[in-house]
Amino acid sequence: MCKNILTLIVFFLFSLTMGQTSAVFELRKLNKRYDSILIAYQQRAKDSLSGHSKKDRLKIMALYEQKVNKQRRQQNLAYLDKIKLEEDTSSGTPAKRDIKCKSMGNFGPPNFKRNSKYKATESPQVSAVPHFLGEVKSVVTFIVDEEGTVKNVRANGENEDFNREIELMFYTMEKKWTPVCVGGFAQANRFILPITQTAE
């Protein structure tokens, strides 16, 4: 009994010091799973749709992938809500970690491009989704902790779909940021970043 209680206490304390919530890791696993499903579909479709013209084959594949990606987005948004809830309801302040760094090191983000082997099938008969027309703007606030982990990402702008896409982009990045380095030690900081996207 005492051993079980001790295990729960250790797990609770460990969870307070983690940079990101468990839902963030679940979100990343979800996207990898969907990528695998779509890659497998593309490989099968090359044979099963071989009797169709290239134009029709691409259309069929693009429409199916669009349907699957719509399901992916719905689940992504559900995880995004879960992440925010976990961050908002987490109790206690994570202990400050003394992580050494190079004083001359520059703060900066990793590559924003998501590393995925899945490439969506393109068809001139099927429009991309989601598609933001014209200019859309958002201001994103976030924290980069001492380990370079991003958390508490919140995007605000007129287009809610664009805001959610930005938040998902930040949370699905697996590579860490380079944190601010002061006096040889990394420091957690909150940042504000305006983002503008223009599409025709």
For the segment 88-133, what is each residue's pLDDT rounded down to a tens digit?
887 555 556 778 887 655 667 776 666 788 999 999 998 876 667 7
Cα dihedral sign for 170, 156, 195, 178? negative
User: What's the pLDDT tens digit per position in 40-88?
Assistant: 999 999 999 999 999 999 999 999 999 999 999 999 999 999 999 998 8
**What was the pLDDT predicted at 67?**
95
Structure tokens at 20: 């990101």
- Confirm if 142 and 190 have CB atoms less than 8 A apart: yes
**What was the pLDDT predicted at 28?**
94
Sheet architecture: strand order including 134-144? 150-156, 134-144, 189-199
**Domains of the chain, residue spans:** 21-199
Q: Give CA separation, 179 vs 108, 111, 149, 152, 185, in Å.
A: 7, 15, 8, 15, 9
Dihedral of the alpha carbons of 169, 194, 153, 89, in degrees to the nearest 10: -150
